[in-house]
Structure 1
Amino acid sequence: MTATHTQTPTATTPREVVPAPRSAWVTVARREIVVRLTDKAFLGGTLLTLVLICGFMGWQVWDSSRTSSYTVATTQDDTVMGERLAAEASGIDEGVAVRSRAVPDAATAQDLLRAEEVDAWLHSTDGGWVLTTLDSAEGGLTRVTQDVVRSAALEDQAASLGTTAEALVEGSTVTTEFLRGDVERSQLAQGVSFAFAFLFYIAALTFGYVIANSVVEEKQSRVVEIIATSIPVRQLLAGKIVATTVIAMVQMALYAVVGLVGLSLTEYSELIFAVTGPVAWYLVFFVAGFVALAALWAVAGALASRAEDVQSTGTPLLMIVLGVFFGSFFLDGLARTVASFVPPFSAVLMPARMLDGDAVWWEAVVALAILLATAVVVVRVAERLYRRSLLQTGGRLSIRQAWSSPE
């Protein structure tokens, strides 16, 4: 009688670990993230964008902190005013510095001005003062000179009346209010809104084509047929969407942090708290809008049978992304308000409206709810199209063919 021996696995027996169907998307997502984070092209592009952001912010800091220096010629009779201008210029405008240069006569002042050895000639006339420059007005110097001359004239008139300049101007102070908002904030809002639209455009196209090409490469090499025997296709799709969304979100957050830090160093630093809220909203809207587009880009890859087909199957998505990008600039008034509730335009327009002060919090909540609901529907539809077209290798499929194809 032959004895039957059953081999009991030991701790050293190698075993193949197969992910459970419900957690397979985690394995897929982890693999996609690792591949992307080790891609030199992706890392180089991210680094280049950060360098551009830092460079732009650095230029803003330099431009706002630089001082314009002027040399102003005055004759002997006007030396006192020239010296006062040099002494008070920086106090009026910290970006303007003036050096007074005494000259013997008007002819010498004009000669020095033509030779560009001085920037301006300040001289008195019967009706006041004249600031002569070579061929263009120096805005900063002109404003400072006007303030200094006005103060000097006011002091002289007050002294002749036996009073003070402060008493003469009492009650004449004018403060400003803005019916349509501060122009400085408006300019900042336009710049940040452009950044919203541009980053969404770049991310949607860059990561979109990455997903589509990844899907079609797996399909063309028949690797997906092996993967489909191990895990559900919907888990494969979920892993790709989650991984790409996480990477895109981290990238956008990194850009936002660097941008806000740079903004705090510019002349707009006082408005940073007004910008932080809309930026946070933008990141939330970005995730919802990007998930829907990522699912559709995966479908674009599944509909293709070759890498060359992605240009065709991805064209509708390209048009959508371009529409969002240009719509953020050209839509105005009622059309802009309505579009800020319509996905995927809301992913960019609603944060931009909040930045402009044109939308309140409940409008953002409503727009986000609509965008999330749309994203759920789009992902469900995309999942069916992806599942039914992924294993079809007979050529490029249309959406109708993919929808009606058997699983």
Structure 2
Amino acid sequence: MTTTPTLQPGSDQRSQAAADDTEGTRGAWLVVMRREIVVRALNKAFLVGLLVSVAIIAALAAFFAWQGSQTDSFTVAVGENDAAATASVTSAASVADAQGGGTELTTLEVADADAARTALADGDADAWLHPADGGDGWVLTGQGDPDGSLTQLVTAGVEQQNLESNAEAAGTSVAELTAGASLTTDQIDGGAVDSQTLFFASFALALLFFIGVIGAGQMIAGSVVEEKQSRLVEIMATAVPLRQLLVGKILGSSVVALAQNVVFAGVGLVALSFTPTSAILPALSASLLWFVLFFAVGFLGLAALYAVAGALASRAEDLQHTTTPMTMAVMGVYFMTFSASGAFETVLSYVPVANVVSMPVRVLSGDTLWWEPIVSLLILLAFTAVAVLVGERAYRGALLQTGGRISWKRALAASA
């Protein structure tokens, strides 16, 4: 006579779940991760967006390279017998050459004022330099308002020419008058990066963060709610533990997001090598390495939260509501980090997830001690661990619930 063991309510389900974990499902997360990577990599919208973004980066770099190679040319009309005006324009051209040679100045001799006005009207001259009425000073006349850079150069040329004339009249020389007035620049930190470069770098890193998180995050949330709405997740849950399903989605999406940012950063570095800012590449490369590391750690936590946002929704139409808090937080990080400076930036470099951008920027500026990025990364690791643990619990509690949007409180209570 055989006896059949009596199972307590729910014990068969727990036994089955335990059997699933021990009989071949422990590696299910790897299957899910591979599926997420393949599906995302073959997604036409993703591929088109990636190619378009790469093309935009390359086009912007090409534009800056072209702009940096351009030379502004100006023609200044002067009187045929006005040696002082001609000498002033020549001095202005010397000043332009000393500033880097990005501007060329030439003179156009005209017979009189009427000829000068005709040259301006016909576009043969950009400006007309002539003495002011009464001989007190000079006037730079244009058909409209003279170009600002041209005005600055001609002003410097006029001052130089008048200084030479006055020095000669006083029986001295310009060298004697300006003795001891030369000024040179120096810096204590030879590797320091100028503020304009730092702003550009912070903007670029903040943009990479924003694009990577928003694009991949929305993809995760959309994938989860699509599987939930089609009831496919109920079938998947019988074969794959929900915890492993979440891990696979997080890791798969993180790999794709990280690879996308590596591609963008690589294209950007190559593109920068053809621009006048190529001198910052060594320092920027080190900063990018820190950014990739911080992004890889931080996105794991954000991916878990985006997966929860998808699980909280019952229909695709609910995503706008459930993902709004995440979107607002990511936008806040984007706007704060690329415009931060001083003590505020220092504080942000230790605040998860803002430190994904702020700490690499501080590394680029040389404003960090060796241990600061490590401490900031450990803080980010702690945030990611908490986000994944809390997100996993809410994900399990919300994924199989339907009938409208689910609150975080209800999701967490259901998984308790």
Please list the CA deviations of residues 107-143 of structure 1 after superposition, one character each: whole Å capped at 9, or x if unmatched: 3223423444311223457566544333323333334
Deviates more, 1:353-362 or 1:93-102: 353-362
| Contact 2:126–2:146 (Cα < 8 Å) also in 1 | no
1:194-213 to structure 2, matched below 5 A, reads 194-213=203-222
Paired residue for 1:101? 108
Report the Cα offset of residue 153 of structure 1: 5.7
1:6-405 to structure 2, matched below 5 A, reads 20-78=24-82, 81=87, 84=90, 88=94, 91-92=97-98, 93-123=100-130, 130-149=139-158, 169-176=178-185, 185-328=194-337, 333-393=342-402, 395-405=404-414
Paired residue for 2:5? none
| Contact 2:88–2:160 (Cα < 8 Å) also in 1 | no
| Contact 1:72–1:82 (Cα < 8 Å) also in 2 | no
CA change 1:105–1:311 in 2 (3 A) is closer
| Contact 1:353–1:359 (Cα < 8 Å) also in 2 | yes
Report the Cα offset of residue 369 of structure 1: 0.7
Query: Aligned with 1:268: secondary structure?
Result: helix
Please list the CA deviations of residues 23-68 of structure 1 after superposition, one character each: whole Å capped at 9, or x if unmatched: 2222211111111111110011111112222222222222222111
2:87 aligned partner, one-letter code: M
Please list the CA deviations of residues 160-188 of structure 1 after superposition, one character each: whole Å capped at 9, or x if unmatched: 89987666655432013579999983122
CA change 1:91–1:201 in 2 (3 A) is closer
Report the Cα offset of residue 275 of structure 1: 2.3
Report the Cα offset of residue 345 of structure 1: 2.0
For structure 2, the 5+ residue unaligned runs are: 1-22
Report the Cα offset of residue 300 of structure 1: 1.6
| Contact 1:113–1:134 (Cα < 8 Å) also in 2 | yes
CA RMSD of aligned residues (A): 3.3
| Contact 1:185–1:271 (Cα < 8 Å) also in 2 | no
Paired residue for 1:5? none
Deviates more, 1:330-339 or 1:92-101: 330-339
Report the Cα offset of residue 152 of structure 1: 5.3
Identity of matched residues, %: 45
Counterpart Cα distance in 2 of 1:116 and 1:38: 56
| Contact 2:88–2:161 (Cα < 8 Å) also in 1 | no
| Contact 1:216–1:302 (Cα < 8 Å) also in 2 | yes
CA change 1:296–1:161 in 2 (3 A) is same
2:150 aligned partner, one-letter code: L
Please list the CA deviations of residues 312-363 of structure 1 after superposition, one character each: whole Å capped at 9, or x if unmatched: 3223222322322233256665444323312122222222333444444422
2:54 aligned partner, one-letter code: L
2:31 aligned partner, one-letter code: T
| Contact 2:91–2:161 (Cα < 8 Å) also in 1 | no
Counterpart Cα distance in 1 of 2:176 and 2:92: 26
Report the Cα offset of residue 246 of structure 1: 0.9
Report the Cα offset of residue 90 of structure 1: 6.3
Report the Cα offset of residue 98 of structure 1: 2.4
CA change 1:101–1:381 in 2 (3 A) is same
Query: Aligned with 2:73: secondary structure?
Result: strand
